[in-house]
Amino acid sequence: MMNVEIQTPTWLVGSDGQPVAVMIDVATWQTIVERLEDQEDFVLIQSLQSDLKRLAAGETPDGWMDWEEFEKELDALESADALPA
């Protein structure tokens, strides 16, 4: 993650004096997006924790297929011209 100085946002208000939008600089926006993506990755990894433990133990988690099975399915799709080139 890049080291960026977060700037104070500029609030845009409507004619009633209520906030309607916020303007931020691009570097701050990119930092926000990176942090949200990191959080999504963390949540995904947490949800897969039991599957990852089974994989580490050499087992195939429920609903997963081993690599050889996946390759056979992929080859069948390619042979049937079901995949885009």
pLDDT the model gives residue 2:
56
Q: What is the pTM of this model?
A: 0.55
The percent of residues above 70 in pLDDT, for the chain, comes to: 89
CB contact set of 51 (below 8 Å; sequence gap of 6+): 61, 64
Which positions of the chain have pLDDT values less than 70? 1-4, 82-85
Q: Where are the domains of the chain?
A: 10-79
Q: 11: which strand partners?
A: 22
pLDDT the model gives residue 9:
87
Nearest residue to 2 (alpha-carbon basis) of 44, 39, 30, 40: 30
pLDDT the model gives residue 56:
93
pLDDT the model gives residue 81:
75
pLDDT the model gives residue 11:
93
